[in-house]
Amino acid sequence: MRTTIKDLRLYRGDQLSESEAYSLCLFADKKLTATVFRIAMKLREQGFSMGDYDHLYIVFIPCDTVEGFTLSQEVDRYHPWYRKCFVRVKQDVYDHLDNANQYAYLLDTISNVLVSCYANDCFGADRILECIHHAVELGEDMLMEFKEKRSTNRHAIIYLRYRDTCCYSPLLRVWDLNGTLLLEADLPEAITLDYLGEIQLSANRVKIKPRKNAFSADMIPLMFEY
């Protein structure tokens, strides 16, 4: 089964444990974390798949031998939705991964991993690199199409923006059948998207109902008229 990507994360592989497994430690600051997540968002919007898992953990480990990367074939039986890619780097690079001046190197590494491990006839290298470039260049202004609703005479889309604070800042747009923009509204910033469930659309009003789960029990629908 193939599934679309959901997340990319950067880790430092700290100390080799007795079980021969690296202890993972997140090192990216909020800005870099947001940038990497926006890459995953844009790839997801375009239908990019890594196979039967949707999270990729890129793990940097120090080495004194040949640099490079290896996609692990190990599958966590309890969490089969992620894989690890181990990137071997020199100790001086490893020691400064959390410096802001390493951003370009880290983004280049992400590009190389994704192209080398996942480019195929359905989603080629150029397309992967285009998504990465789009996410990096637009930054907080990047839009990802999240939800869409069409009625007989209206068309609504909720887009996601992801801020450097690691919060979502959704944007709602509504058009008529001629393509005239009737409404553009910033939606509340949030850490999760539980308040963005079903879109109900009429000739002069759009209603966004919360998702049906335990986290949205006290949320009320959003309503806009135009």
Q: Read off the pLDDT of residues 14-69 as tens digits, 9 standing for 90 and up.
A: 766 555 567 899 999 999 999 999 999 999 999 999 999 999 999 999 988 778 99
Q: Which of 102, 77, 146 is nearest to 12 (CA)?
A: 102
Rounded CA separation 52/49 (Å):
8
Is the entire prediction scored with pTM above 0.85?
yes
Which pLDDT tens digit goes with each residue over 104-135? 999 999 999 999 999 999 999 999 999 999 99
Number of residues written out for the chain: 226
Rounded CA separation 138/38 (Å):
10
Rounded CA separation 220/162 (Å):
23
Rounded CA separation 103/137 (Å):
13
